[in-house]
Amino acid sequence: MSNPETTQGKAAPELSEARKVYIKTYGCQMNVYDSERMADILAAEGYKSAETPEDADLVLLNTCHIREKAAEKVYSEIGRLRALKARARGDGRAMKIAVAGCVAQAEGAEILKRAQSVDVVVGPQSYHRLPALLKAGKRAVETEFPAESKFDHMPEPGFRNMRLPGDRPQPLLQQQAGLPRHAAAFLTVQEGCDKFCTFCVVPYTRGAEFSRPVARIVEEAEALAARGVKDVMLLGQNVNAYHGAGPAAGAWPLARLLARLSEISGIERLRYTTSHPRDMSDDLIAAHRDLPKLMPYLHLPAQSGSDRILALMNRRHDRNFYLRLVERLRRARPDLALSGDFIVGFPGETEADFSATLDLVRAVGYAQAYSFKYSPRPGTPAAGEAQVPDAVKAERLQRLQALLDEGQAAFNAKMLGREFDLLLEKPGKRPGQLVGRSPWLQAVHVDAPESLIGAMVKVAVDRIGSNSLFGALVDPPRAVA
């Protein structure tokens, strides 16, 4: 019996006329942004969006490698797609499978070897090569860090009207394609990282730090504003290390970029993520005081509260530095909501180290935070160290998450009775309900007509839910044209 999906060594069949792509996204906001840009690139090549993988001529998995079993999850997803591909072939259709993102970068040609059904493997810095790789008709891998930037090869944002049906574990401000207005959008300004924390794969999968030029970012933000986007989240693995070429000579820091973007009419809210504590410069702290459009929310990962562990992690900051930084930020912007990331069970972490993390969490009072069990990533320095037993990691994670949940509940409880501006983004769970984001990034549900999607409205909070707030419109709201 012939193996229907073996294409190695042979030219793969040509794509059918009406090509449709299904993109499944794993991981962080950066990957959501990348998926949108790949959708733009493919739309420029005539691709439409497929509602399901069954309906697609191309299934693109945009993968994440940050935590354990990432590659295994991708291989089992490919296994499921293999059956679809065989079925499509039985129906006389040529379906392709492409793997992009950080697993593609880390595994490279191994994916083609292990998964015969995969046609193209493309790393995060080579997305612009996707159409050429697909057209070449051969199985291919592209995981170089090319000299030219992928950003120079992207079509205009807004070209596409494509649905991205992928996984979104942290959707935050992700806009829902297909709605009448897009209220919020991501904009990548920086990529890669030179910090080399000993647990992290990012410097290896995303490469060295790179900042996009100011002019290109301004152009993209203006295009988003023209499409009705009001809330822009600037993205970067280490976004506050931004130092993009300015319009004249010299590089601009993030604070100056934020000031320039806040001059764009239509953009009413700005945020940025993810920041490293070491790169919170004085001018960036001052921007939180001086720029009304910069929202009072900052994701500032600490990872641990123990100086010993922070040193082993190569974080380049200690507990005191972090706490002093938080104080300075809160002096600049007293209502600032802080969010963070924590790793428990890093190699060598003792109960005393973990207690120091719990203390730090209590001292800061996070509005919300993400926490993870340490997961050894192949090729990173900490992966070779003696590991904390999984049961210990699991127990610590549970205690940390209980404390973080308490903090989040306390932060949300303070919102009861408060009035603030809410940017309505999409329909809620029940008819007649819309959901928007508060200035502090909380989801807020209100009863409001769909015509108000994309509008900034005044809301009064009348109930606190477990993960979100509920409120009522205050002023007679204005519908968006």
| Given 198, 274, 339, 357, the residue binding ligand SAM (CB under 6 A) | 274
- Strand 456-464 vs strand 419-427: parallel, antiparallel, or unpaired? antiparallel
String marking each residue 12-51 x if it binds ligand SF4 according to CB under 6 A:
----------------------------------------
Is 238 a binder of ligand SF4 (CB under 6 A)? Answer: yes
Which two structure tokens, joined as six digits, stand for 281?
């410069």
What is the spatial distance between Cα 38 and Cα 175, in angstroms, rounded to a whole number?
16
163 vs 195, which CB is nearer to ligand SF4? 195
Whether residue 147 contacts residue 389, with contact meaning beta carbons closer than 8 Å, is answered with no
Is 200 a binder of ligand SF4 (CB under 6 A)? Answer: yes
User: Phi first, then psi: what are they for 456, rounded to 5°?
Assistant: -95, 120
What is the spatial distance between Cα 472 and Cα 200, in angstroms, rounded to a whole number?
43
| Given 35, 117, 174, 238, the residue binding ligand SAM (CB under 6 A) | 238
342 vs 366, which CB is nearer to ligand SF4? 342
Cis-peptide into 274, omega within 30 deg: yes
> Which of ligand SAM, ligand SF4, none does residue 343 bind (CB under 5 to 8 Å by kind)?
ligand SAM
Is 273 a binder of ligand SAM (CB under 6 A)? Answer: no
76 vs 170, which CB is nearer to ligand SAM? 170
How many CB atoms neighbour CB 287 within 10 A? 23
Q: Closest distance between ligand SF4 and the C-beta of residue 51, in Å? A: 34
The sign of the CA dihedral 372, 378, 384, 390 is positive
# of chain residues touching ligand SAM (CB under 6 A): 18
Q: Residue 343 to residues 256, 312, 367, 369, 397: CA-CA distances in angstroms? A: 32, 13, 18, 11, 8
| Given 283, 318, 341, 405, the residue binding ligand SAM (CB under 6 A) | 341
175 vs 357, which CB is nearer to ligand SAM? 357
DSSP, res 18: S
> Which helix (DSSP H) or strand (DSSP E) does residue 299 occupy?
strand 297-299
Helix axes 282-290, 319-332, angle to 10 degrees: 30
What is the spatial distance between Cα 2 and Cα 415, in angstroms, rounded to a whole number?
64
Q: Which stretch binds ligand SAM (CB under 6 A): 246-254, 261-269, 278-286, 373-381?
A: 373-381
| Given 126, 303, 306, 438, the residue binding ligand SAM (CB under 6 A) | 303
Q: Closest distance between ligand SAM and the C-beta of residue 362, in Å? A: 19
What is the spatial distance between Cα 232 and Cα 392, in angstroms, rounded to a whole number?
40
> Which of ligand SF4, ligand SAM, none does residue 221 bind (CB under 5 to 8 Å by kind)?
none
Q: SS3 breakdown of the chain: % helix, strand, coil, rounded to 5?
A: 35, 20, 45
Is 377 a binder of ligand SAM (CB under 6 A)? Answer: yes
- Roughly how many angstroms between the first and final C-alpha of the chain, as a whole number? 61
String marking each residue 246-285 x if it binds ligand SF4 according to CB under 6 A:
------------------------------x---------
SS3 334: coil
What is the spatial distance between Cα 455 and Cα 87, in angstroms, rounded to a whole number?
45
User: Phi first, then psi: what are they for 337, rounded to 5°?
Assistant: -95, 130
SS3 446: strand
> Which of ligand SF4, ligand SAM, none does residue 294 bind (CB under 5 to 8 Å by kind)?
none
* Contacting ligand SF4 within 298-337 (CB under 6 A): none
| Given 33, 47, 186, 199, the residue binding ligand SAM (CB under 6 A) | 199
* Contacting ligand SAM within 18-57 (CB under 6 A): 28
- Residue that has been written with the tokens 């309906």 in this structure: 55
SS3 481: coil
What is the spatial distance between Cα 105 and Cα 205, in angstroms, rounded to a whole number?
6
Q: Closest distance between ligand SF4 and the C-beta of residue 181, in Å? A: 33
CA 302 to chain centroid, in Å, comes to 18
276 vs 333, which CB is nearer to ligand SF4? 276
Is 196 a binder of ligand SF4 (CB under 6 A)? Answer: yes
Whether residue 82 contacts residue 61, with contact meaning beta carbons closer than 8 Å, is answered with no
Is 301 a binder of ligand SAM (CB under 6 A)? Answer: yes
> Which of ligand SF4, ligand SAM, none does residue 196 bind (CB under 5 to 8 Å by kind)?
ligand SF4
- Residue that has been written with the tokens 């009448």 in this structure: 180
> Which of ligand SAM, ligand SF4, none does residue 210 bind (CB under 5 to 8 Å by kind)?
none
String marking each residue 202-221 x if it binds ligand SF4 according to CB under 6 A:
xx------------------
Q: For binding to ligand SAM (CB under 6 A), which residues are involved? A: 28, 66-67, 199-200, 202, 237-238, 274, 276, 301, 303, 341, 343, 372, 374-375, 377
**Residues in contact with ligand SF4 by the rule CB under 6 A:** 193, 195-197, 200, 202-203, 237-238, 276
